[in-house]
Structure 1
Amino acid sequence: MSFIVLCPIFSQKGFPNFAKLVVGGSLVVSAYPAITGYKEITNGVLLGEVAIKEVIFGLAMGYLSQLVFSGVMMAGQMIDFQVGFSMAQAYDTMTEIQSAQFSKLYYWLAVSVFFMLNLQNLMIYGVINSFRIVPLGAENINGASVDGVVQLFEKTVEMSISLAAPMVVAVLVIDILLGVISRSIPQINILMMSLSVKTIVSILIFLLALSSLASFLGNNLSEGIGNMLEFIKSVK
Structure 2
Amino acid sequence: MIEDFQYFLLILIRITTFLTLSPGFSNKAFPNVSKLALSFALSFSVLSVIEPEPISFTVITFLFLGVKELFIGMALGYITILFFTAVDIAGTLVDFQVGFSMGQLYDPSIGVSASNFGRIYYWIAIGIFFISNIHHYVIRSLVQSFEYVPLEQTNFTQFGVEGIVKLFSYIFEVAINLAIPFVIVALLSELTLALISRTVPQINVLVLGIPMKILLSLVFMFFFLPMLMENISGVFPEMIKYMNEFLQSLSN
Number of residue pairs matched? 236
Which residue pairs with 1:169 in the alignment? 184
Q: 1:21-40 deviations in whole A, cap 9, x for unaligned?
A: 12222221222123235462
Counterpart contact for 2:158–2:250, Cα < 8 Å:
no
1:131, 1:48 → 2: CA distance? 18
For normalisation by structure 2, the TM-score amounts to 0.86
Q: What is the identity percentage for the equivalent residue pairs of Structure 1 and Structure 2? A: 35
For normalisation by structure 1, the TM-score amounts to 0.92
Which residue pairs with 2:226 in the alignment? 211
Q: Which moved more, 1:190-199 or 1:30-39?
A: 30-39
Q: Which of 156, 174, 177 is residue 159 of structure 1 equivalent to?
A: 174
Structure showing greater relative contact order (alpha-carbon pairs closer than 8 Å, 6 or more residues apart): 1
Counterpart contact for 1:38–1:136, Cα < 8 Å:
no
Q: Which moved more, 1:199-208 or 1:55-64?
A: 199-208
Give matches, 1:11-160, under 5 Å.
11-36=26-51, 38=53, 40-138=55-153, 140-160=155-175
Q: What SS is found at the alignment partner of 2:235?
A: helix
Tell me by how many angstroms 1:134 deviates.
Answer: 1.9
Q: 1:123-156 deviations in whole A, cap 9, x for unaligned?
A: 1111112112321031645445232123112101
Gaps of at least 5 residues in structure 1 are none
Q: What SS is found at the alignment partner of 2:106?
A: strand
1:142, 1:75 → 2: CA distance? 36
Decide whether aligned partners of structure 1 residues 42 and 29 sit closer, same or farther in structure 2, where only a CA change above 3 A counts. Answer: closer
Q: What SS is found at the alignment partner of 1:22?
A: helix
1:76, 1:139 → 2: CA distance? 41
2:219, 2:92 → 1: CA distance? 18
Q: Which moved more, 1:191-200 or 1:214-223?
A: 191-200
Q: What is the RMSD computed on CA atoms of the aligned residues?
A: 1.8
Tell me by how many angstroms 1:197 deviates.
Answer: 1.1
Q: Which moved more, 1:180-189 or 1:10-19?
A: 180-189
